[in-house]
């Protein structure tokens, strides 16, 4: 089950989803670039560049390629990494000149459930925007929801 709360006036998105995998495995799927490259981004997107260095001060850099070939680069830094319970990172979507379009602080928590699954809660709070940001922010909820669908599929394959 997924719950989405969107507060457009605050540019905040909170999503929760239960994954049929342990917190250790779900955390690994968020911090191992080989896994991240397989699920990050909406359906049909690929990640030709996927660098993840999960420690405080470590960098994250992902270039999402849309089905039409358009590349959407983002870069960021990990603020907190507590394995396997939480991640906090600040990221910026970049324009074609490498300038930030908007900045988001993302907090992800991984809580074990009584039946061995993981309750993931993600809060994405936009902290800075430019005039061009609104078109990208409008797709944030569907983009994350489809990413979580892809993560669900990856975790199912990892268990089999």
Tens digit of each residue's pLDDT (9 = 90 or more) over 69-102: 999 999 999 999 999 999 999 999 999 899 999 9
Mean pLDDT in residue range 126-143 = 87
| Structural domains of the chain, count | 1
Q: What is the pLDDT of residue 1?
A: 46
Q: What percent of the chain has pLDDT above 90?
A: 82
Q: What is the pLDDT of residue 7?
A: 52
Report the CATH number that the domain containing residue 92 is assigned in CATH: 3.30.530.20
Q: Is the pTM of this model over 0.95?
A: no
Residues contacting residue 136 through CB under 8 Å, at least 6 positions apart? 93, 101, 102
Q: Which of 69, 71, 74 is nearest to 94 (CA)?
A: 74
Domain that holds residue 147: 2-159
């Amino acid at each position: 089950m997924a719950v989405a709360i969107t507060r457009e006036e605050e540019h905040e998105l909170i999503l929760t989803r239960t994954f049929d995998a342990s917190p250790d495995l779900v955390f690994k799927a968020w911090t191992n670039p080989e896994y991240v490259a397989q699920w990050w981004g909406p359906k049909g997107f690929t990640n030709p560049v996927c660098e993840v260095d999960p420690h405080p001060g470590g960098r994250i850099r992902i270039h999402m390629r849309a089905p039409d070939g358009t590349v959407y680069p983002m870069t960021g830094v990990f603020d907190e990494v507590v394995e396997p319970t939480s991640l906090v990172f600040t990221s910026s979507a970049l324009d074609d000149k490498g300038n930030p379009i908007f900045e988001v602080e993302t907090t992800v928590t991984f809580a074990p459930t009584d039946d061995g699954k993981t309750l993931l809660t993600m809060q994405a709070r936009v902290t800075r925007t430019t005039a061009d940001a609104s078109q990208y922010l409008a797709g944030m909820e569907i983009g994350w929801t489809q990413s979580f669908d892809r993560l669900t599929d990856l975790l199912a394959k990892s268990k089999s």
